[in-house]
């Protein structure tokens, strides 16, 4: 049986992430044989965030605080979380969120989510939309104001 330990598992950082987002991450759903639900372990040093403020269409996400006291931004404001807290981010604008470590200690959180393909995320602060077509294809980011005509390139 494949397993991953959320308390001892390593969460390597991506050196290309910009300041404010130097967070370690370990996606482990595939490692444990999951197909419908994804799991990601995040380790946030002081002053860092997981990702920009966003929400998903079609996917529900859960945040489980393992260590530390992250600050959670939601559409109705911010709140400080504590170890053991569990929060659900439903699909759509009501599920918008951003997780930031505003303390001097490392924060460790577990994110669990459905894994629907394609996946769409909206970033309200920067007016962008991200689309993951599925499979091994990479993220396609577009500004919401970058419209094209429906028939462009078709006729």
What pLDDT sits at residue 150?
Answer: 65
Domains held by the chain: number: 1
| Angle made by CA atoms 10, 61, 108, in degrees to the nearest 5 | 30
For residue 102, tell me if it sits in a domain.
yes
How many helices, marked H, and strands, marked E, lie in the chain? Answer: 0, 12
Mean pLDDT of successive 10-residue segments in the chain (155 residues)? 94 93 95 94 98 94 98 97 98 97 98 92 92 78 77 74
What pLDDT sits at residue 153?
Answer: 76
For residue 64, tell me if it sits in a domain.
yes
CATH classification at residue 109? 2.60.120.10
What pLDDT sits at residue 155?
Answer: 67
Structural domain boundaries enclosing 100: 24-116
For residue 68, tell me if it sits in a domain.
yes
For residue 70, tell me if it sits in a domain.
yes
Distances (CA, A) of 9 to 3, 30, 42, 107, 117: 10, 15, 10, 14, 27
What pLDDT sits at residue 137?
Answer: 66
For residue 83, tell me if it sits in a domain.
yes
Bond prior to 101 in cis (omega within 30° of 0): no
What pLDDT sits at residue 154?
Answer: 78
Question: In this structure, what token pair is assigned to residue 136?
Answer: 């091994």
């Amino acid at each position: 049986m494949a397993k991953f330990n959320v308390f001892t598992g390593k969460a390597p950082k991506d050196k290309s992430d910009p300041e404010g987002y130097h967070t370690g991450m370990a996606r482990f759903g595939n490692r444990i044989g999951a197909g419908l639900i994804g799991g990601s372990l995040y380790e946030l040093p002081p002053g860092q965030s997981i990702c920009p403020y966003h929400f998903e269409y079609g996917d529900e996400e859960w945040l489980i605080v393992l260590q530390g006291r992250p600050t959670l931004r939601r559409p109705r404001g911010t709140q400080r979380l504590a170890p053991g807290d569990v929060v659900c981010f439903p699909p759509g604008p009501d599920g918008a969120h951003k997780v930031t470590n505003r303390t001097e200690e490392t924060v460790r959180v577990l994110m669990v989510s459905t894994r629907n393909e394609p996946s769409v995320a909206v970033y309200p602060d920067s007016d962008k939309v991200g689309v993951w077509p599925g499979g091994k294809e990479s993220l396609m980011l577009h500004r919401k104001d970058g419209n094209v005509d429906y028939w462009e390139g078709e006729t």
